A and B are shown apart, each in its own frame.
Chain A
């Protein structure tokens, strides 16, 4: 009964070669988040969608883009990956605060390697 699914679990790409990471959810949550987590560090929020409204964090590089074609799916596009973009990418979902709970449910993550 997987709730937040990420594909692929492991992605290897070459320096500068675009890559897309996928996230889907079966929870019907309004909000979807993308985090970047490097080794021994806290998850760093890149952006989030509240329904179709896109919210970018101020320090998210322009290299990172996102799409949410429907409630269930959200994509992270890295246009020209650099060596510094190698990390675990975590997708998470939550209800809106009006529901009374903003607990975030995380997917298993995609580990990105840049060669």
Chain B
């Protein structure tokens, strides 16, 4: 089955700096890579996703890059703000009907004002 590794497990940055979270996956059949943000006590919410036919996707301060050959993808947050503080999960999803995702272990991002 799929195995997703996520690094770092914790990340602390100063407000305004950039934050980068990296994930690797093992199953070459995976073709959908979502990123979820989970605030304390709340549900995971999709913030950005990328499919394997695209190398990069950007949405305002958030961008995701995918290297399918190396089987890794990264989340980039620029101009971080205190409200970006949360746990971020990457996931990889195979090309099956259900599209079920395997999650990374999460990164706790703290943005210091």
Q: Which residues of A contact B (CB under 8 A)?
A: 31, 33, 40-45, 48, 50, 55, 90, 94, 96-98, 102-109
Contacts and interface: CB of A to CB of B under 8 A. Distances in A.
Summarize A's interface: helix, strand, loop or mixed: mixed
13 contacts: A31-B99, A31-B100, A43-B44, A94-B99, A96-B97, A96-B98, A97-B95, A97-B99, A102-B32, A103-B34, A103-B49, A106-B44, A108-B42
Contacts of B81: none
Nearest to B90: A42
Given A90-B44, A103-B49, A31 B89 contact: no
Interface in B24-74: 32, 34, 42-46, 49
Contacts of B97: 31, 50, 96-98
Contacts of B105: 41-42
A76 B106 CA distance: 25
B80 to A, nearest CB: 21
| A-B pairs with lowest CB-CB distance, top 10 | A102-B99, A42-B103, A106-B43, A50-B98, A97-B99, A31-B98, A96-B97, A42-B105, A106-B44, A108-B43
Contacts of B45: 106
Of the candidates A43, A94, A96, the one having the most CB atoms from chain B within 10 angstroms of its own CB is A43
Given A102-B32, A104-B46, A109-B43, A42 B89 contact: yes
A44 B103 CA distance: 8
A11 to B, nearest CB: 15
A69 B89 CA distance: 31
Given A90-B43, A97-B95, A48 B100 contact: yes
B79 to A, nearest CB: 25
